[in-house]
Structure 1
Amino acid sequence: MTELTIGAMARATGVTASALRFYDDCGLLPPARVDPVSGYRYYGGEQCERAIAIRRLREIGVPLEAVGRILSGDSAEAAQLLDEHVRDLQQRAREAAEVAAAIKQGLGGVVVAGATLAEAVRQVRSAAAADAEFPVLTGIFIEAEESALVLTATDRYRLSTRTLVPRQATSRWSAVAVAEELAVFDHWLRKAGEVRLSPEADFLILTAGGDHRRCPLIDEPFPDYRAVLQGLTPVRTRVVAAREALVTADDATPLILSIDESGLTVGSSEGGRQVPAAVTGSPLDIAFAPDVLCSALATAVGPDVMLDISAPDQPVVVRSATDGDLTTLVMPVQLP
Structure 2
Amino acid sequence: MASSESAGLITIGVLARASGLTASALRFYDDCGLLVPARVDPLTGYRYYTDAQCRRATLIRQLRAIDLPLEMIAKVLSGDAGRARDLLDRHVDELARRASEASRVAMMVKRSLGPHVAVSAAALAQALEQVRAAAAGTREIPVLAGLLLEASGNALTLTATDRYRLSTRTVVVNRQHGGDWSRVLDPDGLGAITAWLRTVEQVVATPTGDGLVLAGDGAEHRSAVIDEPFPDHRVVLSGLGPARTRVITARGRLLSLLETATTTVRFVIDSTGVQVSRGDAAHRLPATVTGSAITLSFDPATLLPAVHTALGPDLMLDITGPDQPVVLRSATDGDLTTLAMPTRPADQDDACRRP
Query: How many angstroms does 1:82 deviate by?
Result: 7.7
Distance in 2 between residues matched to 1:316 and 1:156, nearest whole Å: 13
Alignment correspondent of 2:252: 244
Which among 318, 325, 342 is matched to residue 332 of structure 1? 342
TM-score, with normalisation over the residues of structure 1? 0.72
Unpaired stretches in structure 2, ≥5 consecutive residues: 1-12, 14-20, 26-53, 69-94, 347-355
Name the amino acid aligned to 2:332.
T
Alignment correspondent of 1:160: 167
Query: How many angstroms does 1:64 deviate by?
Result: 11
**Identity percentage over the alignment?**
46
Q: Deviations over 1:114-141 (max 9, x none)?
A: 1111111111010111101011111111
Q: Deviations over 1:274-325 (max 9, x none)?
A: 1001100011111111111011000000111000000111111000111101
Q: Does 1:301 align with 2:308?
A: no
Which among 210, 219, 230 is matched to residue 211 of structure 1? 219
Which among 248, 260, 271 is matched to residue 261 of structure 1? 271
**CA contact 2:183–2:211 (8 Å) conserved in 1:** no
TM-score, with normalisation over the residues of structure 2? 0.69
- 4+ long deviations beyond 6 Å: 62-66, 74-80, 90-96
**What pairs up with 1:49-68 in 2 under 5 angstroms?**
none
Alignment correspondent of 2:32: none
Alignment correspondent of 1:135: 142
Alignment correspondent of 1:105: 111
**What pairs up with 1:1-336 in 2 under 5 angstroms?**
97-107=103-113, 108-171=115-178, 172-249=180-257, 250-268=260-278, 270=280, 272-336=282-346
The Cα RMSD (Å) is 3.2
Query: How many angstroms does 1:187 deviate by?
Result: 2.7
Q: Deviations over 1:37-96 (max 9, x none)?
A: xxxxxxxxxxxxxxxxxxxxxxxxx99989xxxxxxx899879968975999x9898676
Distance of aligned partners of 1:93 and 1:333 in 2 relative to their CA distance in 1, 3 Å threshold: same
**CA contact 2:148–2:184 (8 Å) conserved in 1:** yes
Distance in 1 between residues matched to 2:173 and 2:276, nearest whole Å: 38
Query: How many angstroms does 1:98 deviate by?
Result: 3.4
Query: How many angstroms does 1:109 deviate by?
Result: 1.6
Give 3-state SS (helix, strand or coil) of 1:179's partner.
coil
The aligned length equals 276
Name the amino acid aligned to 2:337.
T
Unpaired stretches in structure 1, ≥5 consecutive residues: 1-26, 28-61, 67-73
- Once the two structures are overlaid, the 10-residue window that deviates more, 74-83 or 252-261, is 74-83
Distance in 2 between residues matched to 1:263 and 1:80, nearest whole Å: 89
Query: How many angstroms does 1:218 deviate by?
Result: 1.3
Distance of aligned partners of 1:209 and 1:95 in 2 relative to their CA distance in 1, 3 Å threshold: closer
Distance in 1 between residues matched to 2:116 and 2:23, nearest whole Å: 42
Give 3-state SS (helix, strand or coil) of 2:336's partner.
strand
Distance in 2 between residues matched to 1:158 and 1:256, nearest whole Å: 18
Distance in 2 between residues matched to 1:183 and 1:267, nearest whole Å: 35
**CA contact 2:323–2:345 (8 Å) conserved in 1:** no
Give 3-state SS (helix, strand or coil) of 1:136's partner.
helix
